[in-house]
Chains A and B, each alone.
Chain A
């Protein structure tokens, strides 16, 4: 075992080891448990950073590969590796988890039980990270499903009033989708190259060379895409998301928006598109249409929200719409836009949920009307950061949210000339809808800021002595705030990683 072939395994499984250690701690040692949470997520982040630094960005293909036999009877292998497409999401997973652990140092939602809370969070971290480095379909599916159980309990135990409903809805909805995805995987196994394999690298090569028949692709792309679409979530499969977000505890929302939604879009880019190019070509206009609807629908829904957290949740649906629109164009620029949008959305919306969580911690309400404005007066720093992040989220040039959206719109002006020559007009309509969406997005965010930040402070908050940003919040948030600016000014941070990967991907299916 060398660092080259064990790095990913160690990094990905470290949180599980942490979860075990924490689960075995005595319940009374609350501080030690929280410290352990920070230590384990921190150590994992350091390892992930070491992987990112040691990665050879000039080389195409997978690195840090470990491919060993796992379940011989069904032909599944333990095949992990990382490439430019996975890298930003993989690192982001560890970064956000670490920041969540720091945040937990001060904030553990009711009803306490820190030990179980952190153990589940660490388990979730492994599930999410594993999804991005698995290169065997069964392994991918295992990691994909592994996130469900911890998230179910995070929402169900530490959520707000309607938590049980939200938790089971989240679970059933996602599982129903992913189970069709599993069926699609098994179908690919049997229709794939001889000897049968779940290996994603081999299936990708097989699919890219037109190995799967057209009818097969139409059916199986649909099944697999359904699983991914629920996770993204694409309109009209999004209804679990506002409920889950509204009820989830702060760090649940951060990880859900920051990482878990990306598992769906990542699945499209990693599996659905390259394995079944013909299916992708046929479904792309539909995906584009759903994405365009999502953008406009989410913006309109946001305008109608009274609950701050629900508003942010719906804005996620819109942002993921831009990501899906980029993917649907089947162009290099579109997929680059999608990958960038995923990272940017993870950072920005993760940060927005942190803000909303902290606002709720002060006001004990998330109703915009009850907060009643004037946050600049009594919590000037909080108000400032909230405004900054909201503006980043609406896509202001120079901040992280800009590149993903503008490039997605740009790419839908010129969808892939090879795959979608007869749909140029249609995609231009999508572009216009997306443009309308950006205007509405700016509208609802600014209106939200107006209602929360501006205006006169209601009397009930005047003497309440609410505390502005705490030290632990600064520590947890500064990295994200820096990233928002850095990604906006130097988008090459992400593009530099993803360039070769995306080019290789498109080269595979003749782009």
Chain B
């Protein structure tokens, strides 16, 4: 069994940082607990450098093919580590001023990110399961971190119960797959074995696939497993909500992409209608309920559900044609990346506003254009981008999915595209409610909002990134395209 230590370096660095954060916390006085954050930041950055050092030196295979570092994995690892840096930046003031247990928080957060980073390399059912649990388990605790608030307790409990339930179903599905394939756990072995099944065995395999999808559907908050998301995001500390909405959900998609496009690819005729239904239901539920939201975090939660629906649509585009699968796959990857930028930006603005308005109603954003112009412009760009309107990167992300949908041929693709289009238009109504408050209304307290420098930096970078992607989409689109190793496989 070969172990490629260079390929595993990012994970090693991150694991070391996690232990360091845990140990150092014990020796820090109460006033200095926040130092865990810079330590974490350095560790994550070092891990990111390790990821960058692997570019061009892939694919690398470890542990007998169960752990693979390829372009797809590198892209997601880089993405997760950048998200980690952003979430750390958003957390510093929030946790320092809120009187939380800081050392424990950073330990849990980084552990979750370790799970995220493992996910895109896991080419084995067991590893996938471990990665997924590594992402989720600290999440249960972090969601309940605002101990004094009943809503945060509810957030943690709800997240935990639904999470554990869906994990159990998924694990059951995995055990069935283990059984019918005669002990295969590696994804490509599973694909090969499943292709040869027939009769009862095949029926059992299809049921198993369904069960596994359930586990991931929970993770990405797809209908009908979406209802934990708004309550959990609302109750959780805002940076944790940002983590759940972006990193946790993207990790779910990274795992789901590998399972569907590699392990279960031969059964696509069975699960394509399933995903078509999931996608349609998820976007409608997300968008229609979002219309009635009055609180920004809940709005972003439903927006995240709707966006998950768009990404799920790409799964419903799978056919026997490798080229068209390729374009569906890279559309999904591109969408996840852009979604990450937009949503993180929106959460960064929310973190800043929460200092003055802890209840975070959308009406609390009134007059932000005067009290914090940079945040207001940034938030406007994020909302326009989430709605998929130029001049922002969200526009291209949607175009790529439309293109993949029409590329598929047959009746399903165009119909899904039409449904997604209708949903995009619905979504504008609620996305634009935020700029409307910020720009058209006046604040009750017209004094300038003091914004932490780190948060301003995050907003500015995300905003510029979205506009740059709009003007020069080519490098970005190619990035997503490169990662399609799995799709072609």
Contacts and interface: CB of A to CB of B under 8 A. Distances in A.
Nearest to A190: B406
B389 A145 contact: yes
Contacts of B424: 179
A183 B421 CA distance: 9
A149 B380 CA distance: 10
A190 B389 contact: no
Contact of A182 (B330, B396, B402): B402
Contacts of B172: none
B389 A149 contact: yes
Interface in A165-182: 168, 171-172, 175-176, 179-180, 182
A142 B391 CA distance: 8
Interface size class of A (residues with CB under 8 A): 20 to 34
B414 A187 contact: yes
B473 A71 contact: yes
B478 interface: yes
Interface string B381-414: 0001000011100011001101100110000001
Interface stretch (B8-16, B162-170, B268-276, B428-436): B428-436
A145 B477 contact: no
A164 B436 contact: yes
A167 to B, nearest CB: 8
A145 B474 contact: no
A29 to B, nearest CB: 17
Interface string B330-360: 1000000000000000000000000000000
Most B CB contacts (10 A, CB to CB) among A72, A73, A182 go to A73
Contacts of B330: 73
A172 B474 contact: no
A70 interface: yes
A142 to B, nearest CB: 5
A138 interface: yes
Interface string B412-456: 001001100100110011001000100110000000000000000
A74 B399 contact: yes
A79 B93 CA distance: 48
A258 interface: no
A301 interface: no
A26 B368 CA distance: 19
B386 to A, nearest CB: 14
Interface in A109-154: 138, 142, 145-146, 148-149, 152-153
B22 to A, nearest CB: 44
Nearest to B477: A73
Nearest to B441: A164
B234 interface: no
Contacts of A172: 425, 428-429
A21 to B, nearest CB: 16
Given A72-B478, A153-B439, A183 B414 contact: yes
Contact of A183 (B396, B400, B417, B428): B417
B440 A171 contact: no
A184 B395 CA distance: 17
B124 interface: no
Given A175-B389, A186-B406, A168 B421 contact: no
A149 B391 contact: yes
B439 A74 contact: no
B364 interface: no
A157 interface: yes
B60 to A, nearest CB: 26
B392 to A, nearest CB: 9
B25 interface: no
A156 interface: yes
A74 B400 CA distance: 8
B428 A186 contact: no
A157 B390 contact: no
A189 B404 CA distance: 12
Contacts of A146: 390-391
Contact of B429 (A71, A157, A168, A190): A168
Nearest to A223: B418
A156 B440 contact: yes
A179 B440 contact: no
B474 A72 contact: yes
A156 B439 contact: yes
A156 B425 CA distance: 18
A268 B442 CA distance: 42
Contact of A164 (B389, B428, B440): B440
17 contacts: A70-B474, A71-B473, A73-B474, A74-B400, A145-B389, A146-B391, A153-B439, A156-B439, A157-B439, A157-B440, A164-B436, A171-B432, A172-B429, A183-B402, A183-B418, A183-B421, A190-B406
Given A74-B399, A189-B406, 6 more contacts: A73-B400, A73-B474, A73-B477, A146-B390, A175-B428, A186-B417
Interface of B: 330, 384, 389-391, 395-396, 399-400, 402-403, 406-407, 414, 417-418, 421, 424-425, 428-429, 432, 436, 439-440, 473-474, 477-478, 481
Interface of A: 70-74, 138, 142, 145-146, 148-149, 152-153, 156-157, 163-164, 168, 171-172, 175-176, 179-180, 182-183, 186-187, 189-190
Top 10 nearest A-B pairs (CB, nearest first) are A73-B477, A145-B390, A179-B421, A186-B406, A176-B425, A71-B473, A71-B474, A146-B390, A190-B406, A73-B481
